[in-house]
């Protein structure tokens, strides 16, 4: 088992035992994965940041539901994913007229993050929400296909097929942009 998985589980147990300082360590170990999960679903940096913060509040509130010995990353990512889906569903009923809301994808203010890369923009254009989420969880967050299947509650074969199909779509889109 990788060291960071052991660390996250150790910190989650410490948090269960009342050590509030463990939450800071949990945040440092999981912030990139949680943010990329939120961003993959919401496609809005501001909302993703808000939901990310809500995720850690929920982790603190629901820490007694964490089962010792299970994958702490998957538990936290599932919370982030569920909160993101709730936010997405809530906001899908609202029509936005703010044309600058996706400005962060074009700005250079952020530190060379993945969401500024042209490949991310192309991926958002050609992939469905589910395909983008699978690619982000695998490529950016570093989850294994088996872990993604667990998080998304889908068969491993479906995740593998979707991931490979997404790569083919991206390759075709990139090839078309180069011409």
Compute the distance between CA of residue 141 and CA of residue 36 in angstroms, rounded to an integer. Answer: 7
Compute the distance between CA of residue 100 and CA of residue 29 in angstroms, rounded to an integer. Answer: 31
One domain, residues 170 and 149? yes
One domain, residues 113 and 75? no
| Domain at 173, CATH number | 1.10.10.10
The burial class, CB within 10 Å (0-12 / 13-18 / 19+), for 145 is middle
One domain, residues 90 and 137? no
Look at phi and psi of residue 69 and say left if phi exceeds 0, alpha if psi is from -120 to 50, else beta: left
For the whole model, what pTM was predicted? 0.61
One domain, residues 149 and 123? yes
One domain, residues 64 and 16? yes
Picking from 95, 130, 151, the residue at the C-terminal end of a domain is: 95
| Domain at 2, CATH number | 1.10.1740.10
pLDDT given at position 35: 93
- What is the residue-wise DSSP string for 129-153? HHHHHHHIIIIIS---HHHHHHHHT
Number of domains in the chain: 2
Query: Using an 8 Å Cβ cutoff, are 170 and 123 in contact?
Result: yes
One domain, residues 55 and 124? no
Compute the distance between CA of residue 163 and CA of residue 135 in angstroms, rounded to an integer. Answer: 6
One domain, residues 175 and 123? yes
One domain, residues 126 and 77? no
pLDDT given at position 11: 95
One domain, residues 141 and 56? no
Picking from 38, 63, 95, the residue at the C-terminal end of a domain is: 95
One domain, residues 72 and 123? no
**Residue 96 φ/ψ, nearest 5 degrees:** -95, 140
Closest CA to 37 of 139, 175, 122: 139
For residue 70, what are the domain limits?
Answer: 1-95
- How confident is the prediction along the chain (179 residues), in pLDDT tens digits per residue? 555 556 899 999 999 999 999 999 999 999 999 999 999 888 888 899 999 999 999 999 999 999 998 899 999 999 999 999 999 888 766 544 443 443 433 344 443 455 567 777 788 888 898 998 898 888 877 888 888 888 888 999 999 999 999 999 988 888 887 64
- Of all helices (H) and strands (E), which one includes residue 89? helix 72-91
pLDDT given at position 4: 56
Closest CA to 66 of 26, 107, 106: 26
One domain, residues 34 and 54? yes
Picking from 95, 113, 132, the residue at the C-terminal end of a domain is: 95
Query: Using an 8 Å Cβ cutoff, are 66 and 86 in contact?
Result: no
One domain, residues 87 and 122? no
């Amino acid at each position: 088992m990788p060291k960071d998985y052991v660390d996250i589980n150790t910190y989650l147990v410490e948090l269960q035992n009342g050590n509030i300082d463990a939450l800071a360590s949990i945040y440092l170990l999981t912030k990139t994965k949680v943010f990329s999960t939120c961003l993959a679903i919401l496609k809005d940096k501001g909302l993703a940041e808000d939901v990310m913060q809500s995720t850690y509040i929920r982790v603190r509130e629901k820490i007694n539901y964490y089962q010792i010995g299970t994958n702490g990353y998957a538990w936290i990512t599932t919370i982030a994913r569920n909160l993101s889906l709730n936010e997405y569903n809530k906001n899908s009923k609202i029509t936005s007229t703010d044309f600058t809301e996706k400005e962060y994808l074009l700005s250079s203010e952020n530190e060379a993050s993945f969401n500024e890369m042209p490949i991310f923009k192309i991926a958002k254009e050609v992939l469905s929400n589910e395909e983008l989420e699978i690619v982000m969880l695998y490529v950016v967050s570093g989850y294994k296909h088996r872990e993604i299947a667990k998080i998304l509650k889908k068969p491993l074969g479906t995740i593998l097929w979707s991931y490979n199909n997404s790569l083919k779509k991206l390759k075709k889109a990139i090839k078309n942009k180069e011409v």
